[in-house]
């Protein structure tokens, strides 16, 4: 745990989060500033900033994130409708929170919302 990290604090209950799903390796919360009707964040419990930091033997974290995303979209009922998975990396990638996470956007036609 990084004691300065907002996502680490949400994971341990130090600050509130709107949890959708949790397993041994990840948790999924609703984004506090949703950009679509469904806007979730899939977050590994281990504090890692970027994919580039992961060693080969740590790539199971990525699989765990996709597994959690699969469960979360099932819970949200958007499996068939479709959705978008986004991972922002670093300053030019638009990453604001330096703890690896994957956005799940859905619940509407994202192009109609101006989201690409
Ligand atoms: P990124 O720009 O990829 O780092 O995304 C960080 C996301 O975290 C943004 O969409 C924020 O709205 C979201 N966020 C920041 N603080 C919180 C929080 N306390 N609970 C839920 N989402 C948050």
* β strands within the chain, DSSP E: 19-22, 26-30, 38-44, 83-86, 102-106
- Tokens encoding 53: 């930091």
With 80 as the cut, is the pLDDT of residue 45 above it? yes
pLDDT confidence of residue 114: 82
Range 62-73 average pLDDT? 98
Cβ(91) – ligand 1 distance below 6 Å: no
What's the pLDDT tens digit per position in 22-44? 999 999 999 999 999 999 999 99
Percent of the chain at pLDDT above 70? 100
- Please tell me the predicted confidence (pLDDT) of residue 25: 97
* Atom from ligand 1 closest to the CA of residue 101: 3
**What band does 116 get if pLDDT is binned at 50, 70 and 90?**
confident
Residue 6 CB–ligand 1 contact under 6 Å? yes
| Token pair 């964040």: residue | 41
CA of 14 to the centre of ligand 1 (A): 16
How close is the Cα of 53 to the center of ligand 1, in Å? 20
The CA distance from 93 to 107, in Å, is: 24
């Amino acid at each position: 745990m990084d004691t300065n990290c907002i996502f680490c604090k949400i994971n341990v209950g130090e600050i509130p989060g709107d949890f959708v799903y949790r397993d041994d390796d990840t948790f999924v919360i609703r984004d506090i500033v949703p950009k679509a009707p469904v806007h979730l964040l899939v977050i590994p419990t281990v504090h890692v900033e970027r994919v580039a930091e992961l060693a080969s033997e740590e790539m199971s974290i990525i699989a765990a994130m996709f597994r959690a995303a699969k469960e979360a979209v099932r819970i949200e009922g958007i499996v068939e409708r479709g959705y978008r998975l986004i991972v922002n990396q670093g300053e030019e990638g638009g990453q604001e929170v330096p703890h690896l996470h994957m956005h799940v956007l859905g619940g509407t036609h994202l192009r109609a919302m101006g989201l690409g």
